[in-house]
Amino acid sequence: MELLIATLCFLGALVQATAGLGFGLVVAPLLLAVYEPVDAIQVAGALTLTIVALITPFIVKNILKPELGKLALGSLMGLVIGSICLQLVPIEAIRIAALVVLAYSLIRYVRTHLAATGYGASDTETERLGRGVCFGLVSGVMGATLAMPGPMALVFLREQRIAVAKVRATVFALMIGSYLGTLAISFSLHGISAVAYEGLLTYLPPTLGGVVAGSVLARFIPAFLFDVATTLLMLSTLVVLTTKILTTHFF
Average the pLDDT over 234-245 and give the result.
Answer: 77
Query: What pTM was computed for the model?
Result: 0.81
DSSP-based helix, strand, coil % in the chain, nearest 5: 85, 0, 15
Yes or no: say if 155 and 135 are a contact pair by the CB < 8 Å rule. yes
Return the SS3 of 19.
Answer: helix
Task: Report CA dihedral (108, 113, 118, 120) to the nearest 10 degrees.
Answer: -10
User: pLDDT digits over 144-191, tens only?
Assistant: 888 888 888 988 998 888 888 898 899 999 999 999 998 998 899 889
Q: What is the DSSP letter of 22?
A: -
User: pLDDT digits over 208-222, tens only?
Assistant: 999 998 888 877 777
Distance CA(10)–CA(125), nearest Å, equals: 40
The full set of domain ranges for the chain reads: 2-250
CA distance from start to end of the chain:
20
Average the pLDDT over 3-7 and give the result.
Answer: 89
Yes or no: say if 135 and 67 are a contact pair by the CB < 8 Å rule. no
